Amino acid sequence: MNIDFSSIEQIIQVAKSENVNISDIVLRQSSLDMKVDSVEIFDRMANSLEVMKISVEEGIAPNIRSLSGLTNNEAHLFKKHVESGRSLSGQLLGEAVYSSIAVMSTNACMGRIVAAPTAGSSGIIPGCMMALINNLKVSDKKLVHGLLNASGIGMVIARNASISGAVGGCQAECGSAAAMTASALVEVMGGTPDMCGHAAALALKSLMGLVCDPVAGLVEEPCVTRNAAAASVAIISADMALAGIKSVIPVDEVIVAMGEVGKTLPESLRETAKGGLAATPTAKKIENELFNKV
Question: How is residue 278 annotated by DSSP?
Answer: G
Exposure class string for 118-147: b at 16+ Cβ within 10 A, else e: bbbbbbbbbbbbbbbbeeeebeeebbbbbb
User: What tens digit of pLDDT does each residue of 46-78 get?
Assistant: 999 999 999 999 999 999 999 999 999 999 999
Residue 126 CA to residue 100 CA, distance in Å, equals 7
Mean pLDDT to the nearest integer, 81-107? 98
Instruction: Report pTM.
Output: 0.97
pLDDT, tens digit, 9 for 90 and up, residues 126-154: 999 999 999 999 999 999 999 999 999 99
CATH of 8-291, one of 1.10.10, 1.20.120, 1.10.287, 1.10.4100: 1.10.4100
Predicted local confidence at residue 71, as pLDDT: 97
A 10 A CB-CB count for 222 gives 19
Residue 62 burial class via C-beta count within 10 angstroms: exposed 0-12, middle 13-18, buried 19 and up: exposed
pLDDT at 293 (0 to 100): 58
Q: Can you give the residue ranges of every domain in the chain? A: 8-291
pLDDT at 2: 87
Q: Report the chain's mean pLDDT, rounded to a whole number.
A: 97
Residue 16, pLDDT above cutoff 90: yes
pLDDT at 294 over 60: no
Please say if the pLDDT value at position 190 is more than 60.
Answer: yes
Q: Is the pLDDT of residue 251 over 60?
A: yes
Beta partners for 72?
65
What does the pLDDT look like over 104-130, one tens digit per residue?
999 999 999 999 999 999 999 999 999
Q: What does the pLDDT read at residue 237?
A: 98
Report percent pLDDT > 70 for the chain: 99
Please give the Cα distance from 101 to 17 (Å, whole number). Answer: 39
Beta-carbon contacts of 167 under 8 Å, excluding residues fewer than 6 positions away, are: 262, 270
Going 194 to 197 to 143 to 235, the CA torsion angle's sign is negative
